[in-house]
Chains A and B, each alone.
Chain A
């Protein structure tokens, strides 16, 4: 490329002697106020002048490549010979899978040695002469531009796109309609939740069932200081909608001394000090159950929101926006704990229309 076509600003400062300019110093003039010091003089490596050193480097590179080959063979051998469930003790990793360890180590070694060999080769044996090159102009040359335009026009003419309007219009139609499939798929983002966020499975008369034993709970089963998780009667783990329902209905049941309960409504909604709260954090919906039985505080493991179960599950720390919803409970004729209705507010995190 000739220097006339190169825009001025893309060029480094012109140098008096462009080729073999090691250590050349051009002189500053009006256009280029700073002198270009050029490249420092080239220094040779030991390998460039001492053949024995070069041979040594060659052997090192060959050794690394050979090691890589051996490691690959080792990889295949470990894959074939080590049983998948073999556990070995390796300090300081502990009792780990022998197969995983062997495969990882050999594969890692094989790859690392290829890379390390290539780097060592490039650093010690390949040419390290400094080279200078001019920047290319960004715009294409006029002849190239003209050729491309001519080719395009000829192509358009040969395809007869302008003449055969039926083809052109149907093609436009096909291209316009095709993206509709993508838009239709967006329907799967819906349907809108409607009032699903406002209701859970709980309703009047449903018994509270212990998640661990799958048995309905009696008031005497819940001791002061204990923590019990409950689900609504009738919801079983193998139900197809179990996860959807338990995500909203999960309960945390604790018993407080009725005198310790500061919130009047909480006391009214409890049964002999037994209170049932939603297990879903009102911040972003993590299951929250780090219950400190002496302070009656519940801590969320995700963002440390802290609720005081003795005071209407009021937020006392952290980002949660409102108290945990309480479920009103009582005892049925058979002496089991039962819900006296659904939660009176949506459980879990706030949402736009929650109000």
Chain B
């Protein structure tokens, strides 16, 4: 130690101290490298927002306004959140072909990457529901029976008790829920698209939503089981009555005609 203190007045001492200090600072900086990544993340985020803004200006601004403030043709988008964009654009409802009572589901025209960019831009306009993660909407292990109960209390009035959809007023309707992606089901409940009321987590918890998705998955997908046989659209008495009148009564009439018809007669000789 004596040696070191003896050399403190060496002409190079200042340089050595400076180098040590620099190394320390560098080491500390490296140790806090995550700060670097965070910065990169923000950059990617702002890049996505920029890209989304460009897409928005082309595809959405004519109805929703250049800054998402809304026009007479489309509602304001501030606060609708990324989940609403992911649902509306991801199911092809947006961009709409024309304003009207109801914007129908159609072919999806944006790629998922573009949808994410649009969502990032719209989310930047005001805080709103975010796109759910798979852990949130995955129906695996959820309570199907509870889901059925919740569905009948909250959803069945418009969407029919097996989710086949139904009519509303003035040309509006509740669409069928057959084979809708679980993510989109979750987003629809969270955001309340078009005239559907929303069911935020305070009304219908995340677990409740999973139960409902699991119920729909069980009763309303291509391979759901229907032990009773032909569902006739699952619409209830209208289609069942029509089937009864046409095929039931029709069959009886056919048999009655057959019973009373003239039998083939021998040719007169």
Identity of the chain B residue whose Cβ is nearest the Cβ of A294 in the assembled complex? B195
Chain B interface: which of A19-27, A195-203, A225-233, A341-349?
A225-233
* B8 in the interface (beta carbon within 8 A): no
* B225 in the interface (beta carbon within 8 A): yes
Residue-wise interface mask of A (41-56) relative to B, using a CB-CB cutoff of 8 A (1 in contact, 0 not): 0011110111000000
**Residues 92 to 135 of chain A near chain B (Cβ within 8 Å):** 92-97, 100-101, 104, 115, 119, 123-124, 128
Q: Are B227 and A228 in contact (CB under 8 A)?
A: no
Q: Are A43 and B231 in contact (CB under 8 A)?
A: no
Contacts of A213 in B (CB 8 A): 203-205, 208
Which A residues are closer than 8 A to B by beta carbons?
A: 43-46, 48-50, 87, 92-97, 100-101, 104, 115, 119, 123-124, 128, 210-213, 217-218, 220-223, 225-229, 254, 287-295, 297, 299, 301, 304, 306, 317
Q: DSSP class of B's interface residues: helix, strand, loop or mixed?
A: loop
Interface CB pairs A-B, < 8 A, 6: A48-B266, A49-B266, A100-B227, A104-B229, A221-B200, A228-B203
Q: B228 touches which one: A48, A97, A254, A289 (CB < 8 A)?
A: A97
Q: Are A292 and B169 in contact (CB under 8 A)?
A: yes
Task: Please report the C-alpha to C-alpha distance between residue A50 and residue B269 in the assembled complex, in whole angstroms.
Answer: 14
Identity of the chain B residue whose Cβ is nearest the Cβ of A123 in the assembled complex? B263
- Shortest distance from the beta carbon of A142 to any chain B beta carbon, whole Å: 41
Residue-wise interface mask of B (223-238) relative to A, using a CB-CB cutoff of 8 A (1 in contact, 0 not): 1111111110000000
**Residues 150 to 209 of chain B near chain A (Cβ within 8 Å):** 150, 153-154, 157-158, 166, 168-169, 172, 174, 192, 194-200, 202-205, 208
Q: Are A301 and B229 in contact (CB under 8 A)?
A: no
Q: Are B157 and A210 in contact (CB under 8 A)?
A: no
Contacts of B58 in A (CB 8 A): none
Q: Are A292 and B172 in contact (CB under 8 A)?
A: yes
Q: Are A223 and B198 in contact (CB under 8 A)?
A: yes
- Shortest distance from the beta carbon of A255 to any chain B beta carbon, whole Å: 10
Contacts of A287 in B (CB 8 A): 157
Contacts of A254 in B (CB 8 A): 197
- Shortest distance from the beta carbon of A228 to any chain B beta carbon, whole Å: 5
Given contacts A96-B228, A292-B195, A294-B195, contact A306 B169 (CB under 8 A): yes
- Shortest distance from the beta carbon of A183 to any chain B beta carbon, whole Å: 37
Identity of the chain A residue whose Cβ is nearest the Cβ of B146 in the assembled complex? A212
